[in-house]
Amino acid sequence: MTELTHLTIAEARDGLKAKTFSATELTQAHVDAIAKARALNAYVLETPEKALAMAKASDEKIARGEGRALEGIPLGIKDLFCTEGVVSTAGSKILGNFTPPYESTVTRNLWNDGAVMLGKLNMDEFAMGSSNETSAFGPVVSPWRREGSNVSAGASGAIEGTHLVPGGSSGGSAAAVAAHLCLGATATDTGGSIRQPAAFTGTVGIKPTYGRVSRWGTVAFASSLDQAGPITRTVRDSAIMLASMASPDPKDTTCVDLPVPDFEAAISRGVKGLKIGIPKEYRIDGMSPEIEQLWHQGAEWLRAAGAEIVEVSLPHTKYALPAYYIVAPAEASSNLARYDGVRYGLRENGRDIVDLYEKSRAAGFGREVKRRIMIGTYVLSAGYYDAYYVRAQKLRTLIKRDFEEVYAQGVHAILTPATPSSAFGIGEKGSGDPVEMYLNDIFTVTVNMAGLPGIAVPAGLDAQGLPLGLQLIGRAFDEETLFAAGQVIEDSAGRIKLPQAWWA
Amino acid sequence: MSVDEKTVRRIAHLARIAVTDEEVPHLQGELNAILSFVEQLNEVNVEGVEPMTSVTPMVMKKRQDGVTDGGYPEKIVQNAPATEDNFFLVPKVVE
C-alpha cells in the first residue's frame, strides 16, 4: 500500500470511505511526518491533539455513514487564516500570541465539511514576499534541491548547505504539500502568493476569481486583491478543496452570491473546441529558453487535446507590476494601521500614545512590511495621491480592459509561464534592491489586478532538476475551464515526482 | 520623483513607525528604488480612463440595519496587552 501521506485527497477520500484505513491512522501518519520535518520550518504551530480529536470525530461520522466532502482529510492552514482558540500570527511578531475568538469563513467551511487541522503554516510576514524569507519565524526550506546539491539535514536536525526557497508568500503551504506534510493546504494570493510557490515546488495552486472565496477572518493585506485558494498535489485535489473553501458569505460584502459549481466534475471536460490565447507580451527579454520551451510545449499539449491556440495581445502587461506596487502598499498601509499596540499583539510603552504606536510598530513589523507601509503612506499622502494612486488605479482599468477584449474575441483561457525562473537559493535575491524580488510576480500579478482566476500546474523540470509551472488565466467566475485545461496539462506532463524525505 | 531623508522621516511619522538614524538612509534607498520602478507608469496616456473602484462588477450587498452580534466585551479585549474592566488601557491622551 502507498504510504498514507503520499495519497492524494481523492485517494484518501476513497480509502476512508472504503474503510481501508481510518481518519485517525491517516492523521497520525501526518503528525509523525511533521515531527520529523521540523528542519523545513513549514509549520509555525503544530496542533496534533486537535488533529487527532478531529480525526476521531471523523471516524465516528464515517462509521455512521455520515461522512462529508472532506471527512477525515488532514490539511495545513496558512497562518493568515484566523482559527478559533489557536494562535494566528500572519508570520509577524506584531500579532504576538493573538488567539482569535472566531473562525475565518474559509476554515469554518473546511471544518464543516469534515477536514482535519494539522497546524498553522509558515508564510511571509503579512503575505508580503515571494520567498518566505520575510517571516518572523524564519525562512521555510524547500523540499526540493538542485541536482548534485550538498543540502542535507545535519546531525543536529538543522539544514546544512545552501537551500532553496519554496516561494512565497504561501511558502509553508507549498513546502508542506510538496513534502507530504499534509494532503492539501490553504493559501492566499495577492500578487502571486499561491501560484508562484506552487510553481516552485511542483504543486498545483489556484487563485480563484476575486469574490469567489470569502475574505472574512483572513488577515488583510490588500483587500481589493487578496483571495484565498488551495495548494495541492493534483488538479483534482485543488478542485475538491476549492469547492469546500468557496461559499457566499454575508460577512464579506465583496464575496459574491453565486452558487459554487461542481469543480471536480469540470476536470474531465477536456479542452476540445476551446480557444486558448498565448499573450505575446509575456515573452519577456531574458526569459530562459527552458521556460520558453515549456510554454510552447504546454500550448502543443492543449492543441493535441483539441484546443485552438491563438496569439493574443495584452498591451498593458508591463505596467501591472509597477501599478501593483502602488495599489497593494496603499491598501496595506491602511489595513495595517490597526496594529497599534493597544487592542492586540505586541506593545512597547512610550511617553505618550503616539510614541507608544511608533515604538510598538517599529518593534513589531519586519523590514519588508515597514517598507511597504511607508510606500503606501507616501503614495496616499497629500500632493501625491493623484500622481501615484489615482494613476495606478487607471492603469488597473486598462489592464482589466486588455483581458476583456481578449475574452470578447472568443478566447476561453490564456496560457503563460507561472514564473520567470525556477526556485532560487535563500539569500540570493532582493537583499540590495527590493524590486529584484518583486519581479518574481511579473506573470501572476496581472491576474490579481484584473480580479481573474489563475491556476499554476507543474509542467516539467529544468536542467537543475527543479520544477517549472505553467499558468492558465480564465474568465471571471470560470474556474471550471481552468480545472479542465489544468487537468490536460497534468495528464500530458505526467505527475511530477516529488522529492524523497531527505530531511527526515 | 525621489524622497530625501527629511521626507523619509515625515512618512515614517505619518505611518506611525519609529525609525532610527541608521535606518533612514537604507529606507531612503529602498523607497527610491521602488519609486523609480513605478515611474514607468508615466509613459501611459491615461486621459479619460476611469480609475478602478471595484474589480468585480457587482451590486453592493445590503442587510437590515439590525444588531446581529456582540454582547461579549471580555472576548473583544481578551488579546489586548493592557485592559481594565473590559476597557483598553492607553497612556493619558487628554490632559
Using the beta-carbon criterion (under 8 Å), do B61 and A253 form an inter-chain contact?
yes
- CA A69 to centroid of chain Cα atoms: 22
Stretch 14-53 of chain B: residues touching chain A, C-beta under 8 Å: 14-19, 27, 30-31, 33-35, 37-42, 44, 46, 49-53
Which residues have a Cβ under 8 Å from the Cβ of A209 and sit 6 or more positions away?
Answer: A227, A451, A452, A453, A474, A476, A477, A478, A479, B56
Could you tell me which residue, B59 or A179, shows the higher pLDDT?
Answer: A179
A120 DSSP 8-state letter? E
pLDDT at A154 over 80: no
Q: How far apart are CA A467 and CA A220, in angstroms?
A: 30
With CA atoms as reference, report the closest residue to A232 among A501, A12, A503: A12
Is the Cβ pair B44, A398 closer than 8 Å?
yes
> What percentage of chain A reaches a pLDDT higher than 70?
99
Our measurement of the distance from residue A346's CA atom to the centroid of its chain's CA atoms, rounded to an integer in Å, reads: 27
The class that CATH gives domain A4-269 is alpha beta
Domain holding B35, by residue range, is 5-41
User: What's the pLDDT at B60?
Assistant: 80
DSSP 8-class letter at A219: P
DSSP, collapsed to helix, strand or coil, labels residue A156 as: coil
**Which one of A324, A342, A367, A386 makes the best mutation probe of the B interface by having the most chain B beta carbons within 10 Å?**
A342
**H/E element, A159:** strand A159-160
**Sequential DSSP letters for B1-54:** ----HHHHHHHHHHTT----TTHHHHHHHHHHHHHHHHGGGGGS--TTPPPPS-
The answer to whether position B92 is within a domain reads no
Q: Does pTM surpass 0.95? A: yes
- Asked if pLDDT for residue A160 goes beyond 90, the answer is no
Residues A98 and B30: their CA atoms lie apart, in Å, by 31
Number of domains in chain B: 1
Residue ranges covered by each domain of chain A: 4-269
How far is Cα A146 from Cα A465, in angstroms, rounded to an integer? Answer: 6
Confirm whether B13 is domain-assigned.
Answer: yes
On the question of a cis peptide bond just before residue A268, with omega within 30 degrees of 0, the verdict is: no
> What does the pLDDT look like over A32-74, one tens digit per residue?
999 999 999 999 999 999 999 999 999 999 999 999 999 999 9
Q: Write out pLDDT tens, residues B15-62.
A: 999 999 999 999 999 999 999 999 999 999 999 999 999 998 888 888
pLDDT, residue A161, reads: 78
Q: Is the pLDDT of residue A2 over 60?
A: yes
Q: Is the pLDDT of residue B11 over 70?
A: yes
In a domain, B80, yes or no: no
CA distance A435 to A429: 9
Using one digit for the tens of pLDDT, what is the confidence trace for A354-378? Answer: 999 999 999 999 999 999 999 999 9
Bigger pLDDT: A160 vs A460: A460
Burial code of A19-50, b = ≥16 C-beta within 10 A, e = fewer? eebbbbebbbbbbebbeebebbbbbbbbbbeb
Does B88 map to a domain? no
Please name the residue of chain B whose CA is at the shortest distance from the CA of residue A88: B79
CA separation for the pair B95, B81 (Å, rounded): 23
Q: Which three cell numbers stand for residue A180?
A: 507530504
pLDDT, position A155: 66
Q: Which of B7, B72, B90 sits opposite A353 (nearest CB)?
A: B90
The residues, any chain, with a CB within 8 Å of residue A427's CB and separated by 6 or more, are: A133, A162
- Kindly report the average pLDDT of chain A as a whole number: 96
- B10 within a domain of the structure (yes/no): yes
The pLDDT score that the predictor gives to residue A152 is 81
Mean pLDDT of A160-187: 95
The pLDDT value recorded for residue A147 is 87
CA distance, residue A437 to nearest chain B CA (Å): 11
Amino acid at A329: P
CA distance A36 to chain B (A): 32
H or E stretch including A368?
A: helix A367-380
Where residue A102 falls among pLDDT bands split at 50, 70, 90?
A: very high
Q: Does residue A1 surpass a pLDDT of 60?
A: no
So what's the pLDDT on residue B56?
85
Active site residues of A: 78, 169, 193
Is the pLDDT at A224 greater than 70? The verdict is yes
The Cα–Cα gap between A183 and A233 comes to 8
What average pLDDT does this structure show over A219-239? 98
Q: What is the mean pLDDT of residues A435-461?
A: 95
Task: Tell whether the model's pLDDT for residue A16 goes beyond 70.
Answer: yes
Tell me the sheet residues that pair with A218.
A81
Question: Least CB-CB distance to B75: which of A101, A224, A435?
Answer: A101
Q: Establish if A365 touches chain B: CB-CB under 8 angstroms.
A: yes
CATH number at residue B12: 1.10.20
Task: Tell me how far apart the alpha carbons of residues A90 and A95 are, in angstroms, rounded to a whole number.
Answer: 8
pLDDT of residue A434: 85
Reply yes or no on whether the pLDDT at B95 is more than 80.
no
pLDDT at A419: 96
Cell of B9: 522621516
Q: How far apart are CA A91 and CA A75, in angstroms?
A: 19
Q: Between B1, B12, B50, which is nearest A374 by CB?
A: B12
The verdict on a CB contact (< 8 Å) between B56 and A476 is: yes
A101-106 mean pLDDT: 97
Which distant-in-sequence residues (6+ apart) come within 8 Å of B62 by Cβ? none
Task: Express as a percent the part of chain A with pLDDT over 90.
Answer: 92
